[in-house]
Amino acid sequence: MKESCHFDLRLSEDLLRKLIVISEAEGRSPNNTMLLMLRNYISYFERAKGKLDPAKLRAADIEAWVAPADGQKTDN
């Protein structure tokens, strides 16, 4: 499995509460629920608009979006 990245997400309290209730109803953690929803949306997007280009995926710069691991500082 590839290394996990940490990504901060800002939600309204209402949206967070709904995520928690749905997660509990499905027997998942909120994190796993978000991963499932994201995978489903990506699948929908690719069915509707075509597969994402692997070269573009490799070239995507994620540095500005991921949180530093274990307290490491970034230059941003």
The residue type of 7 is F
pLDDT at residue 10 greater than cutoff 50: yes
Backbone φ, ψ for residue 52 (5° rounding): -70, 140
**Model confidence over 20-71: pLDDT tens digits?**
999 999 999 999 999 999 999 999 999 999 999 999 999 999 988 887 766 5
Q: Is the dihedral of CA 32, 37, 10, 73 positive or negative?
A: positive
Q: How far is CA 70 from the centre of its chain?
A: 19
pLDDT at residue 72 greater than cutoff 80: no
**DSSP state, 65?**
T
Whole-prediction pTM = 0.76
Structure-block tokens of residue 50: 């075509």
Domain residue ranges of the chain, discontinuous segments joined by +: 13-67
Report the alpha-carbon distance of residue 59 to residue 38 in Å, rounded.
20
